[in-house]
Structure 1
Amino acid sequence: MVNQKSIDIAKERRTIYQLGKDITLSHEEISELVQNAMIASPTAFHSQTVRAVVLFGEHHVKLWDLTLERLRPEVPTEEAMKATSAKIAGFKAAAGTVLLFRDQAVVKQLEEQFTLYKDNFHDWAEQGLGGFQQLLWTALRENNIGANLQHYNPLIDEQVAKEFAIPENWDLRGQMVFGSIEGPDSGKKEFLPFEDTFKIFE
């Protein structure tokens, strides 16, 4: 029989918006989980282009406060702003956020070092980040911690860099909000039939 425990755990991963602060792992354990997911995720040429910042407590809250302020001039109506504020309040109620980055300095170095593949390194760095996101999200779920993935970049890039002393070469690509599971997940998903998405040659 095929052992697919890791796939079964990954199937349990779902987007969860109703998150709280009642997680059983300590800040140190969460940070170690993020670090281990980083080193276990493959990157092209073993380039290690993935970067992460974990925000807890007031730093987590500050992220979503500055996001709300940055969104304010972009939201067209007062009614829409109320909905946006409620959504941001949901993120603030969670236990923390992992900021996800690509290191563009490494990408540039690879472009110069391996000119034959120059046009691919941005995509490969994004693939590396995607692998890290998937592994981290699955590891959180295995520890009964829910998460959702947000993409307020590039709107908040400048504010985030200033507030958290982010190196100039770190390119913000996403924000993974995590916490205790306080509500339903995104539910059952529909998938395309394999005859449209999969081929095998024997």
Structure 2
Amino acid sequence: MFNNQIVSALKKRRSIYQLGRSVTTPTNDIVKIAQDAIIESPTAFNGQTVKAIFLFDEHHEHLWDLTAERLRSEVPSDEAYQATLKKLNSFKAAFGTILFFEDSATVRQEEKDYPLYRDNFQDWAEQAQGGAQQAVWVALALNNIGASLQHYNPLIDEQVREAFAVPAEWVLRAEMPFGSIEAPAGEKSYLPREERFVVFQHKAV
């Protein structure tokens, strides 16, 4: 029978927006689970361009406080800012946050080392980000830890760099707050398969 375990795992991964701190998995285990997921995710020429910083406790809270402060000047009205603040506070209520980065120095070195593929390495680095982020997301979900993926970069890049001593070569690509699942994800809709897939195969004679 066809093994469907990976699809079952993928179905468990959802965007969870109501996150809490009732996490029973030890912090060190969470870090190792996520690190292992990133390590085993593919990167072009094994460049290992995906980097990550793990934030817990006051460091996690500081991330969302600095994000709120940075967005204050970007949101056009006080009413809109209060709605933004409510959203950011929901991330702050989580157990922790993983920051995903791209190692731009490695990308540039790959472009130099493999000039035939020079124009592809930036795209490949982005693909590596997607693979690693999904792998971590699924790994957390399999341990009953909810998460969502946020993109307040590049607005908060400089604040994050200063707050967490980020190496100059690391470029922030995403933020993943995670924690206990306080409310389930909503219903997910799917396009018909015929609108997304095409299959060619040999016709039997």
Q: TM-score, normalised by structure 2?
A: 0.96
For residue 187 of structure 1, report the CA deviation from its aligned partner: 1.8
Comparing 54-63 with 184-193, greater Cα deviation is found at 184-193
2:87 corresponds to 1:87: yes
For residue 198 of structure 1, report the CA deviation from its aligned partner: 2.7
Write out aligned runs for 1:155-194 (5 A). 155-194=155-194
For residue 52 of structure 1, report the CA deviation from its aligned partner: 0.4
User: Equivalents in 2 of 1:196, 1:21: separation in Å?
Assistant: 38
Say if 2:34 and 2:140, in contact at 8 Å, map to a contact too: no
Write out per-residue CA displacement over residues 99-124 of structure 1, whole angstroms, 9 at most, x where no aligned residue. 00110000000000000100000010
For residue 33 of structure 1, report the CA deviation from its aligned partner: 0.8
Say if 2:147 and 2:178, in contact at 8 Å, map to a contact too: yes
User: Equivalents in 2 of 1:177, 1:200: separation in Å?
Assistant: 41
User: Equivalents in 1 of 2:37, 2:6: separation in Å?
Assistant: 14
For residue 4 of structure 1, report the CA deviation from its aligned partner: 1.5
Q: Residue 73 of structure 2 aligns with which residue?
A: 73
Write out per-residue CA displacement over residues 62-107 of structure 1, whole angstroms, 9 at most, x where no aligned residue. 0000000000000111110110110011000000000001100000
User: Equivalents in 2 of 1:46, 1:194: separation in Å?
Assistant: 34
User: Equivalents in 2 of 1:109, 1:19: separation in Å?
Assistant: 39
Comparing 183-192 with 75-84, greater Cα deviation is found at 183-192
Say if 1:100 and 1:173, in contact at 8 Å, map to a contact too: yes
For residue 195 of structure 1, report the CA deviation from its aligned partner: 5.2
* Unpaired stretches in structure 1, ≥5 consecutive residues: none
Two-structure CA RMSD over aligned residues (Å) = 1.0
Write out aligned runs for 1:39-118 (5 A). 39-118=39-118
Q: Which amino acid aligns with 1:190?
A: Y
Q: Secondary structure at the match of 2:35?
A: helix
Q: Residue 10 of structure 1 aligns with which residue?
A: 10
Say if 1:14 and 1:187, in contact at 8 Å, map to a contact too: no
Q: Which amino acid aligns with 1:136?
A: V
Q: Would you say how many aligned residue pairs link Structure 1 and Structure 2?
A: 202
